[in-house]
Amino acid sequence: MVDTEITDVTDDIVLMRVVGSKFNQGNMTCIALENGLVFVDTGQNAKYSEQFRKAMEKRFNQKTLFVLLTHSHWDHIFGMETFHDVPIISSEKGVDSIREELAKELSPEGRQKVIEQSKKWLEENKVEITKERQEWFDMLPKVKVSIPTIGIREEMIFHSDGKEFLYRVVGGHSECSSYIHCVSDEVLITGDNLVAKHAANSGCMLAGFGSQGLEVLSQFEKMGVDKYVPGHGPVVNTDYIVKSRKWFSSMFDALRGLKRDGVSAEDAIKDSSLPEFFESETPRSWDMIVEHWYNTI
Ligand SMILES: [Zn+2]
């Protein structure tokens, strides 16, 4: 069953996750400042973002000040409608990318095309249209996405109650990817440069995670942060970052080696030299993901 899960990261930072979904639903985080609330990302579904906003406004008895976007992928911006009354801040590249998408994939015709192509793919691959998938098809034409109000080129710093917060554009997962460093709280809200529990969040993130993502992960590791709030999955600590970084690094090295030795993609994905995945469950479409890495690293 699809449900939401709330985690208190600190007294003033709260994470909301959508769990039990087959879709790549992005995390949402609320930071309570002394004069109001800041939300990080808007999730994939306005139903959950609205619930979360209301719950946080009630809990902290504060109004919402603004929203920060970690990047412009659909699973992080489709809940935007919930925040139509406050400024939405993203990287400058994020503003450009949403503007471009609104003219292409997110135009009314573009959305219809996405639905038709997905249905065709599902039919060809004999994948049934589940209730959740049908809801997604019904929702897509109606999702209200707007161009962010403010675009940040490199970084933005804000303070509350003597605490410092830093929004920084870092790239990696996508050109427009950014993180939010809650410096005094020693918390890093990472966007999709970090994902935990990959199996529950589909292989989509893994496929989009290449050498640049690995560099950003190494940066995260050195930041001396206590808690990491990923783009998908639960809060993790530095040990998880180290484990994750080491695994991706050895996986990419192994694939590069096989490629150099002239091993085909088809054989490489089954090669015994590849390290075993570091989490207990392997993501769906595993072969497809590894083949994607083989072709792109
Ligand atoms: Zn995502």
User: Residues 272-285: pLDDT tens digits?
Assistant: 999 999 998 888 88
pLDDT per residue as tens digits for the range 230-260:
999 999 999 999 999 999 999 999 999 999 9
Q: How far is the CA of 161 from the centre of ligand 1 (A)?
A: 31
Looking only at the bridges linking them, the beta strands covering 155-160 and 227-232 are unpaired
Q: Average pLDDT by consecutive 10-residue portion of the chain (297 residues)? A: 94 95 89 97 96 98 98 96 98 98 97 96 90 92 97 97 96 94 97 90 78 92 94 95 95 96 95 93 88 91
CA–centroid distance, 236 to ligand 1, in Å, is 16
How far apart are the CA of 231 and the centre of ligand 1, in A? 6
How far does the centroid of ligand 1 lie from the alpha carbon of residue 156, in Å?
22
Quick one: pLDDT at residue 167? Answer: 98
pLDDT at position 207 is 80
**Distance between Cα 283 and ligand 1 center (Å):** 14
Report how far ligand 1's centroid is from the alpha carbon of 32 (Å).
23
State the pLDDT at residue 37: 98
* Integer Cα distance of 65 and 52 in angstroms: 15
Ion ligand 1: protein residues whose beta carbon lies under 5 Å: 26, 75, 192, 231
Ligand 1 centre to CA of 150 (Å) is 21
